[in-house]
């Protein structure tokens, strides 16, 4: 995909994201792929990001990350284990959890608490607080980064004296595609 299309797509999502992607392109690790209208992390972007941040990707870590990238949806550790067993029949769930902990600590994946599942990060070029849009109908899950969300959390902490330890927001609802399908069925 050309940079122009990516910039256009990022700009459609959020002008703030566009500036971060431009910076990421210069650093070489904000190389998102484009699939079905959604930004995805590519193997190239993950490799570049890991090199730039001195993150070691062992073969097992790379394999788990590849599984999450290819599936493009939240997966539990046991589902990841099923995929791994196709290549390594002796794979164990504790190894999967250790790898997920490492990838989570290094910003390569996110954990969705409400689903008890993991998904590859699609915004590697920036440190960010994610908001998740989770479709109750089809399971589609999108990572969204609201502009100034970090500032909002900081103001909330300052005014309330409350220290936020988990600022991730998971919003469950019906995605646009499922709404269209529902409307089409209702009209017949």
**Average pLDDT taken over every residue of the chain:** 76
Query: What CATH number has the domain spanning 3-186?
Result: 1.10.10.10
Predicted local confidence at residue 30, as pLDDT: 33
* CB distance 141 to 155 below 8 Å: no
- Determine the average pLDDT of the residues in 148-173: 89
- Does residue 18 carry a pLDDT above 60? no
Q: Could you report the per-residue pLDDT of 86-120, keeping only the tens digit for each?
A: 888 999 999 999 999 999 998 888 999 999 999 98
- Does residue 153 carry a pLDDT above 50? yes
Domain ranges of the chain: 3-186
Give the Cα-Cα-Cα angle 9, 181, 7 (nearest 5 degrees): 0
pLDDT band at 7 (very low <50, low <70, confident <90, very high): very low
Regarding predicted confidence, which is higher, 28 or 182?
A: 182
Regarding predicted confidence, which is higher, 152 or 47?
A: 152
Half-sphere exposure at residue 57, Cβ-oriented, CA atoms within 13 angstroms: 19
The pTM score is 0.70
């Amino acid at each position: 995909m050309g940079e122009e299309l990516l910039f256009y797509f990022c700009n459609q999502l959020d002008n703030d994201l566009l500036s971060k992607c431009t910076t990421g392109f210069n650093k070489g690790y904000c190389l998102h792929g484009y699939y079905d209208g959604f930004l995805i992390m590519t193997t190239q972007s993950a490799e570049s990001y890991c090199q730039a941040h001195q993150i070691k990707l062992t073969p097992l870590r790379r394999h788990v990350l590849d599984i999450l990238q290819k599936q493009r949806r939240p997966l539990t550790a046991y589902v990841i284990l099923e995929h791994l067993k196709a290549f390594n029949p002796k794979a164990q769930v504790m190894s999967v959890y250790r790898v997920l902990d490492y990838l989570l600590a290094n910003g390569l994946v996110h954990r969705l608490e409400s689903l008890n599942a993991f998904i590859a990060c699609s915004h590697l070029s920036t440190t960010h607080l994610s908001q998740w849009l989770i479709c109750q109908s089809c399971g589609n899950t999108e990572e969204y980064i609201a502009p100034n969300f970090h500032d909002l959390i900081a103001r909330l902490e300052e005014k309330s004296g409350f220290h936020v330890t988990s600022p991730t927001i998971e919003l469950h609802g019906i995605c646009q595609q499922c709404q269209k399908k529902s409307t089409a069925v209702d009209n017949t």
